[in-house]
Amino acid sequence: MEVFDEERAPLPRNMIENSMFEEEPDVVDLAKETPSSSSSFPLDPDDVVYEPRSSRLLVRGLGENDADEEEEDYESSARLLGMSFMNRSSNQRAANQRTAYTRQDPSSFCSCLPSVRTMVAGVFVLVLVASLIMVFYFLPGCTFTREGCKKANTSQDSIYPIATDGQPFPWADLRLPSSVVPVHYDLLLQPNLTSMTFRGSVTITMTLQQDTDVLVLHSADMTISKATFQDQEVKPLEYKPWQQIAIKFPQLKKGQTCTLKVDYSAHLSTSYDGFYNSSYIDTTGTKRVLAATQFEPLAARKAFPCFDEPAFKATFSVKIKREAEYISLSNMPKIGTTQEDGLLLDEFEKSVTMSTYLVAFIVANLSSVSRNVSGTQVSVYAVPDKKDQVQYALDSAADLLQFYNKFFDIDYPLKKLDMVAIPDFLAGAMENWGLITFRETTLLVGNHSSPLDRQLVTSVIAHELAHQWFGNLVTMKWWNDLWLNEGFASYMQYMSIEKLFPQLDIDNEFLNIRFRALAKDSLNSSHPVSAVVKTPEQVEEMFDSVSYEKGASILLMVNSTLNDGEFQKGVIEYLNKYKGRNTVSEDLWNSLSSVSKLSISVAQMMNTWTLQKGFPLVTVNRIGPTVKLSQEHFLLDAGNVTSNNVWHIPLTYVNDSCSTARGCKQVFLLKDKSAKLDIPAGVKWLKFNYKNEGFYIVDYGVEGWKALIGALQQDVNVLPHEDRAALVNNIFMLSRLGKVPFRQVLNMLSYMSNETETAPLTEALSQLMHILRMLEKRQDLFLVNRMKAYIINHFGDLMDSQSWEEESSVATQTLRSMLLEISCGLHRANCTEKAMEAFQAWVASNGTHRIPSDLMRVVFSVAVQTEDGWNRVLQAYKLSLYDSEKRRMLEALASTQDVSNIVWILQAGLSGSDIQNQELPLVISTVCKGLAGYLYGWNFVKENWGKITQKFPIGSFAVQSIIVSATSQFSTKLQLLELENFFSSLKDKGSQMRTVQEAVETIKLNMLWMDKNLDTLRNWL
């Protein structure tokens, strides 16, 4: 599955509120009410913000003119009520103190005392009465009946959970037992797109792997009307927390075959998983509906009872009843259609053996184009209004399918390959075997789409087609090895595009992806590539940067380490050996080892990269011709966590005598904590990690950095652009770690005046803009202005030199769009005036004047800051048929600094009315970047957490994105305390997510970085 990356750039994170009272007071005095558990971060007086709970939208520094009159009334009343609240509290405390220390009137006491004998007798009577009361109170009532009490079945009750009918459920694990395995499913479905319900019937043929008298499988959110096991009607037991049902029966023997049939009904899901309903408005203004599936990772059980784990592979025969106005699609080609009960019944061929999460079916009104490619019928489907946007996807898929057939040396095994654009789809795409589903943005390309749009569509298609082998043909055994699917598909998408579509400049995108993976994996909250996974939330959270991007990065590293052709040979052996089966990481490494002629064991080396989290920092200390190399865990940690991890690092390096050609690369295997490397005495400088193909960071020491910076200042082309970008990335990361002072970072950036390549420039700008946004959120206006001035001084000339006309190069478009967005975001007149000129020309032509696609976001972002511009862009967004264009308009709308528009767009994204729910993570991310919107965005997340997690599963990539984008720019103690308080209050509704730990850790690291570097910024900017 391709998770949809909202920005293809590092994601942010934001702020939280301190809820102190069950009722809603108007003011919470955070300075006085700070929880004791957070005493390690005492509040400074400057951090205390009085904020009306009814709005929570006031931002210091915005000024009164930025809030409407109603908000000003809220603020005034809040202050008055707050003073009243605090006065009442202080008066109450004073009253309590007076009560506690008021003397009693001595005359009220009796001076007479009882005798000793009387006291002893009284105590005895009291003890006797109390003992009798305790006996009657604590013993159960059945003790005093004739039948007595029944003895509890403690052995069973303490082990097994309780089913919905009160009986013990005969299984006590989230994972299913392996005693019964499915062989084949016969599935009949009848969706009703008027009532948004469906009926189903499934017959499962199974074999027993051992003697058993119980069958356990998955089922969720459905009503079972009838179940028969071996032709005998049975009543399933259900345990809803684990989404399991169980059937008890007389014991059957190992090797026997058995059959379960279940008739059931359910509502089409209103979220984005299971068998869910989707809708869109066509060009006539009519609302159209459809039903589609998204089963990965744990939602096939919502469409039919099944063994919903990757290792339980089986074949499937699917039939779908539908109305005549729709078509139906499933994984396999359709056998035929018959009429039944006034409906049409489509029957599909028996499938190949596959996991349940790959099953798919769609009922919709769609149009398609098709082509036969090497014996496979390839088709692209879209809603009728967008049928003219499918040709590029068809052409790209045809080329990629032939490439993969040859590279893997195994032909695609199905007769057909359908690719379907779903109007309302959360993920980027889903690799269902033979029926791949996509967001419209990731499949459809209009005639005027930009090369950047084509790069995105081609990347997603390449990713999903690679899954047809890695994931579908050979599948990971359990979700802990998800990277075997996603990491490999990610790597293949970049490799295949680089070979087939060099004009798309995919190498810069892959380089940026590797930088992002390093940033994610540098946190203590990260996890090993192959991690322990138990709960559904943990399964959802595996769909992250580590599984996708780090997985792809380490595959690049091993491929660049092996001899030419060995990687491909090992992959072919792996696929042939395990096709139709399930695997673990070790199986891949063993296959690569078996074909490698290297002296090292691939399995032994790569286990150090998959079984422990993080990556190494390699420190280079050169003394003459001897280079001392040492490694340690690169761990950005605010809590002084220690790590003894050691990696087998295939170190690559070049020097000043030969530094740009691939033949210059030399390799040294660093397996221990430290080692020595001898080099020629005349070498002036060394650059390690050639083209950043390894997953590690290098610190060259003071002299080493000085030599590299000097070399770049003399000749910027002395290193490839990938190496220059890596040096920029590494030095910012080392500054964040505290290994390099920030003034050294600024020294490195001094060479940028001669830089012209996209990768190093965009990396430097991304790092600087992250710092600027943090400073803005702290409202340190002096440093904000100094940082803006620094960026303009160093990059202003490059910004001003950018063209506003059409560009054909992806690299040029990528750089230009970033430079101009920053320039206009800094309110430089040269940029904003040209943006408004382009917008006015677009308005005057009634939208027919073409704005270059890569500039749409910057032009519209400037325009929407006016009321007229906002309204025009919003109307165009609602009417546009081109999804890449709509997306840029939406990002522009969400960049507004107008408070009322911010509130509207957040609510619209949540309600799904004018903006589809699938776009909510993007809306929140964009809103939170702005100074006016970041508190609104964070408060919106808090207030609507329940609704958000109803639409998107806890732990899903969408929820991860929302948390990260809403909190990553915070850097104060108050913001940290509010975040911790909010998520700790959620308990089982999200408090244990790894992403929450990441957010807390990121804020602490931001605080530390600011504490260490604010003085340097003031002195050097």
For the CA atoms of 329, 333, 337, 343, the dihedral, rounded to the nearest 10 degrees, stands at -20
The pLDDT tens digits of the residues spanning 891-935 come to 999 999 999 999 999 999 999 888 999 999 999 999 999 888 888
Which residue, 707, 464, 636, is CA-closest to 1009? 636
Distance (Å, whole) CA 966 – CA 774: 12
Lowest mean pLDDT segment, chosen from 197-201, 444-448, 551-555, 630-634: 444-448
Mean pLDDT throughout 843-859?
A: 92
Lowest mean pLDDT segment, chosen from 64-73, 391-400, 855-864: 64-73
The pLDDT of residue 337 is above 80: yes
The pLDDT tens digits of the residues spanning 460-498 come to 999 999 999 999 999 999 999 999 999 999 999 999 999
Which tops the pLDDT comparison, 289 or 681?
A: 289
Lowest mean pLDDT segment, chosen from 408-417, 761-770, 947-956: 947-956
Question: Do the beta carbons of residue 170 and residue 214 sit within 8 Å?
Answer: yes
Q: Looking at the annotation, which residues are catalytic?
A: 464
Q: What is the pLDDT of residue 987?
A: 74
pLDDT band at 956 (very low <50, low <70, confident <90, very high): confident
CB atoms within 10 A of CB 677: 17
Phi-psi region at 478: left, alpha or beta (left = phi > 0; alpha = psi -120 to 50): beta
pLDDT band at 114 (very low <50, low <70, confident <90, very high): low
Q: What is the pLDDT of residue 486?
A: 97
What's the chain's average pLDDT? Answer: 86
Distance (Å, whole) CA 694 – CA 609: 11
The pLDDT tens digits of the residues spanning 274-324 come to 999 998 999 998 999 999 999 999 999 999 999 999 999 999 999 999 999
CB atoms within 10 A of CB 199: 17
Identify the H or E element spanning 736: helix 721-737
The pLDDT of residue 440 is above 50: yes
Lowest mean pLDDT segment, chosen from 164-178, 229-243, 360-374, 985-999: 985-999
The pLDDT tens digits of the residues spanning 365-407 come to 999 999 999 999 999 999 999 999 999 999 999 999 999 999 9
Which residue, 629, 627, 628, is CA-closest to 681? 627
The pLDDT tens digits of the residues spanning 156-195 come to 445 889 999 999 999 999 999 999 999 999 999 999 999 9
Q: What is the pLDDT of residue 129?
A: 59
Q: How far, rounded to the nearest angstrom, does the alpha carbon of residue 874 sit from its chain's CA centroid? A: 28
Residue with tokens 């059980």: 301
Q: What is the pLDDT of residue 700?
A: 97
Lowest mean pLDDT segment, chosen from 21-25, 304-308, 620-624, 978-982: 21-25
Instruction: Report angle CA 870, 875, 881 to the nearest 5 degrees.
Output: 130
Cβ burial, residue 835 (10 Å; 0-12/13-18/19+)? buried
The pLDDT tens digits of the residues spanning 558-611 come to 999 999 899 999 999 999 999 999 999 999 999 999 999 888 889 999 999 999
